[in-house]
Amino acid sequence: MSEPMLKIENLHASVEESEILRGVDLAVNAGEIHAIMGPNGSGKSTLASILAGRDDYEVTEGRVTYKGQDLLALEPEERAHEGVFLAFQYPVEIPGVNNIYLLKAALNAKRAHQGLDEVDTVDFLTSVKEKMKLMGMDESFLNRAVNEGFSGGEKKRNEIFQMMVLEPELALLDETDSGLDIDALKLVAQGVNQMRSPDRAIVIVTHYQRLLDYIEPDRVHVLAQGRVVKSGDKMLAHELEDKGYDWLRQEEATEA
Amino acid sequence: MSTVDPIAERLIERLGGERPGDSVDWIAALRSRAAERLAALGLPHTKIEDWKYTSLKPITKRDFARPDAASATADAGAVEALRIPGLETHRLVFVNGHFAAALSDRDLGAQGLTVKSLAAAFAEDPEALRDRFAALAPIDFSGFTALNTAYADDGAVIRVAPKTQVERPIELVFLSTPQGQPVMAQPRVILDAGHHSEVTLIEHFVGLDDAANLTNAVTELKIDVGAQVTHYRLQRESRKGFHIASIHAEQAENSRYASHNVQIGGQLSRTDINTALNAEGADTLFNGIYLLNGRQHSDTHTRINHLAPHTYSEESYRGILNDHARGVFNGRVYVAQNAQQIQAYQQNDNLLLSGRAEIDTKPELEIYADDVVCSHGATIGRLDDNMLFYLRSRGVDEEAARGLLLYAFAEGTVEKMGLEALRTWLEGFVIDELPQAERVREFV
């Protein structure tokens, strides 16, 4: 079997002397969707942020290999050029910068890295508008400033829409389901399902199982106290939903 | 016996001489009164509270000469290049404070509008200016106002008849050019907006060829009942030049004054913008930005005087300061005892891009009425790390991401400007001042 697209080995990370990740091991193959679940404070979002390149955390041990290269050695923008995408838990508002400009610049930066010409404006607009429709977004959105004045749900939908335009190879979704009503949740799930492809890996970080009612994961991992304490198939998510995270803690205690 | 300030004495010696209008008694008398005030006041210094953060030593240690009218010329091509794309205006060009007819539009008036140089107005109908010249800008507002009143060589007089909507903005271009030795250009602008009229005034100060001159400008705006005056100012003196200006507006009932002020140039600049909301329904917008690099020093003092009930003011100033630059912002809002149910909002936001840049910001609210809505706020910060990371995670490199966030910050000021052609034009100068100008242009 070929190497996994993403391979995390014994990853330790701290913020201000306090250790958040305590030896995470994880392998994700192209074509798969993985869900990382866990209680608040387990380190799920930290893991997603470290993979995208946020420098608030210090990696103290371990390594992350992405498409055969050392992911942690790359700047955030280089990771984006290499096909990594993070859908933010809290997308940022950027007044004065229109969505369409940001999308085009982001796409062209990636294409330049791949040695491709800039995207054709007409083709770009056509494909962008198709994807907006799918996410239930109005066209006027393109000329609005990035996330400015968006509701929580609009921001999350915008993240998924950006993912669809940028077509990453590794998509990390950080609690994209939080704060969404059921209709928005379905739209987000529809967007993610459409992105499923043999060349793409998707990692969904979530506290709740409900998004997984609409997106079927290949693997489910439970993160607790900075480590993956249990992995399984989609049934694991249901089990967690039924029994709660306490169940795992008890199980761990019994094993110990 | 009154003492004469030694700096004032030197100025009076150097700048004295004949001027248009001297043969008219009241003008001569006003000028000599102004010179006397100057002699007594001197120029401001840092012991005066309002000038605490701005030392004028770089100005007082230089001897500026009176600019020569005969050499008030400039390269016509360079002047043409300063036109605002896509905007037709009534344009007057001044060189070192002298009106340059050859560089200005021939046909300056329109239906209900007269525009003249100050010298022409003094020559043709001095009586019409008797109650207007120095009526809104008190002689002793500062030593500089006294100086301008005594020694302004020229300027512009603009009159808009009642109920007239002036279609084309009036554009005053003040060129500062080298002329052997540094000179002091002192334009005086007087605008009368008749009741229910509408007019846009653009003042564009621009230093050419590293001119090391001092501009000392005074602008008086009388805004009658229901009139609307939109005032754009772009200050682009050379980095070796000095700029001192005061704007004095008086607003009647239901009038509106919008001031958009972009400050980019000069090694040392000080701008005072004052308005008096004299009657109910008067409304003011003060919107401005200062973009400072190197060792530039820029001081903005604003005063909004709510003197009647139901008056409104909104003020927003932003600053981006890099390198060793220093900025000063002081926003004073005065609410008189009878000025009930007024609203006044003020905000000043600053980004410091270097550990050595400095901003001194002070809101100053003086409220004597008890039923008012007033707010103020000041922020000083750096670029937001979350915003930077967001852009970088989308593939935008760090340099461009920084530039974009600075642009977004400045856009908060630019987007309040109504005229699209002007907004685009001003935005261009703003982007040019950003450290990552070229990268920003890829996105906007």
pLDDT digits (tens, 9 = 90+) for B160-174: 999 999 999 999 999
Chain B residues with beta carbon closer than 8 angstroms to that of A162: 394
Smallest CA-to-CA distance from B65 within B97, B93, B34 is with B97
pLDDT of the residue at B2: 61
On the 0-12 / 13-18 / 19+ scale of CB atoms within 10 A, B216 is buried
Give bridge partners of residue B94 from the DSSP assignment.
B99, B174
Q: What are the residues facing A69 on neighbouring strands? A: A66
| Residue of chain B whose alpha carbon sits nearest to that of A89 | B390
Is the Cβ pair A109, B396 closer than 8 Å?
A: yes
Q: Is B410 an interface residue toward A (CB < 8 Å)?
A: yes
The one-letter code for the residue type at B357 is: A
Answer whether residue B179 shows pLDDT above 70.
Answer: yes
How does pLDDT run across A176-232, given as a tens digit for each residue? Answer: 998 899 998 999 999 999 999 999 999 999 988 889 999 999 999 999 999 999 999
Residue from B275, B272, B271, B255 nearest B263 by CA: B271
pLDDT of residue B356: 97
Edge-first strand order for the sheet with A58-66 is A18-28, A6-15, A58-66, A69-70
At B107 the pLDDT is 79
Give the span between the Cα atoms of A45 and A74, in whole angstroms: 19
Q: Give which of A92, A160, A167 to mutate to test B binding, by max B Cβ within 10 Å.
A: A92
What is the spatial distance between Cα A121 and Cα B81, in angstroms, rounded to a whole number?
32
How far apart CA A120 and CA A125 sit, in angstroms, is 9
Contact B404 A97 (CB under 8 A): yes
Asked if B124 has any chain A CB less than 8 Å from its own CB, the reply is no
Question: Beta strand pairing status for B170-176 and B90-95?
Answer: parallel
List chain A residues with CB under 8 Å of B409. 95-96
Residues B53 and B32: their CA atoms lie apart, in Å, by 31
Average pLDDT over residues B70-80: 87
CA distances from B107 to B40, B91, B113, B332 (A): 43, 9, 11, 40
Identify which of A88, A96, A101 has the shortest CB distance to residue B411.
A96
A92 and B386 within 8 Å at the Cβ level: the answer is yes
Residue B180's pLDDT is what? 86
Q: State the pLDDT at residue A247.
A: 80
| Closest C-alpha to A52, from B399, B392, B385 | B392
Looking only at the bridges linking them, the beta strands covering B154-160 and A219-224 are unpaired
Chain B partners of A79 at a C-beta cutoff of 8 Å? 393
B399 touches chain A (CB under 8 A): no
Assess whether pLDDT exceeds 90 at residue B372: yes
Q: What is the mean pLDDT of the segment spanning A115-144?
A: 91
Q: Which of B387, B395, B410 sits opposite A77 (nearest CB)?
A: B395
CB B243 within 8 A of CB B205: yes
Sign of CA pseudo-dihedral B414, B415, B418, B419: positive
Give me chain A's average pLDDT, please.
Answer: 91
Torsion of CA B126, B129, B135, B139, to 10 degrees: -30
Q: How far is B257 from chain A (nearest CA, A)?
A: 25
Query: Which residue in this structure is represented by tokens 């060189």?
Result: B95
Q: Do B386 and A80 lie within an 8 Å CB cutoff?
A: no
**How much is the average pLDDT of A59-70?**
96
Measure CA B343 to chain center.
Answer: 24
Q: Which two tokens stand for residue B234?
A: 């772009």
- Taking any CB pair shorter than 8 Å as contact, residues of chain A touching chain B are 52-56, 75-77, 79-81, 85-86, 88, 90-92, 94-97, 101-102, 105-107, 109-110, 113, 145, 162, 166
CA dist., res. A150 & res. B372, Å (int): 32
Query: pLDDT-derived band of residue B88, with 50, 70 and 90 as boundaries?
Result: very high
Q: Between A250 and B18, whose confidence is greater?
A: B18
* Contacts with A81 from chain B: Cβ below 8 Å: 395
With a CB cutoff of 8 Å and minimum separation 6, the contacts of B352 are B321, B358, B359, B380, B381, B382
Contact list in A for residue B440 (CB cut-off 8 A) is: none
Model confidence at B1: pLDDT above 60: no
| Cβ–Cβ below 8 Å for B391 and A52 | no
- Domains observed in chain A: 6-255 (3.40.50.300)
Confidence of residue A158 (pLDDT cuts 50, 70, 90): very high
How far apart are the C-alpha atoms of B172 and A177, rounded to whole Å? 57
Please state the rounded mean pLDDT for residues A239-249.
Answer: 82
Chain B neighbors of A80, CB-CB under 8 A: 392-395
Mean pLDDT of B227-236: 98
Q: Which of A27-41, A89-103, B122-136 shows the lowest mean pLDDT across its residues?
A: A89-103
- The gap between the terminal CA atoms of chain B, to the nearest Å, is 63
Using DSSP, state whether B246 is helix, strand or coil: strand
Closest Cα of chain A to B360: distance in Å? 26
Question: Which of A54, A75, A80 lies closest to B394 in CB terms?
Answer: A80
CB contact under 8 A, A102 and B444: no
Q: Which candidate, B270, B286, B384, places its Cα nearest to that of B327?
A: B270
Using CA atoms, how far apart are residues A116 and A123, in angstroms rounded to an integer? 15
Question: How far is Cα B278 from Cα B254, in angstroms, rounded to an integer?
Answer: 10
Name the β-bridge partners of A242: none
The pLDDT assigned to B137 comes to 97
The answer on pLDDT for B141 being more than 60 is yes
Distances (CA, A) of B241 to A42, A164, B19, B69, B269: 60, 52, 25, 20, 9
Distance between A255 CA and the closest CA of chain B, angstroms = 40
CB-CB contact of A16 with A24 (8 Å): no
- Residue A253 distance to chain B (closest CA, Å): 38
Between A and B, how many residue pairs show a Cβ–Cβ distance under 8 A?
A: 81
Query: What is the predicted ipTM?
Result: 0.94
The alpha carbon of residue A67 is apart from the nearest alpha carbon of chain B, in Å, by 18
Interface residue B398 vs chain A (CB under 8 A): yes
Flag whether pLDDT at A234 surpasses 50: yes
> Which chain B residues are Cβ-neighbours of A149 within 8 angstroms?
none
Of B390, B409, B444, the CB nearest to A92: B390
Band the pLDDT of A17: cuts 50, 70, 90.
confident
Please tell me the distance from the alpha carbon of residue B170 to that of residue B273, in angstroms, as a whole number.
Answer: 19
Statement: residue A161 has pLDDT above 50: yes
Alpha-carbon gap: B414 to the closest alpha carbon of chain A (Å): 10
Residue type, B341: Q
B309/B279 Cα distance (integer angstroms): 7
Distance of alpha carbon B158 from alpha carbon B129, whole angstroms:
11
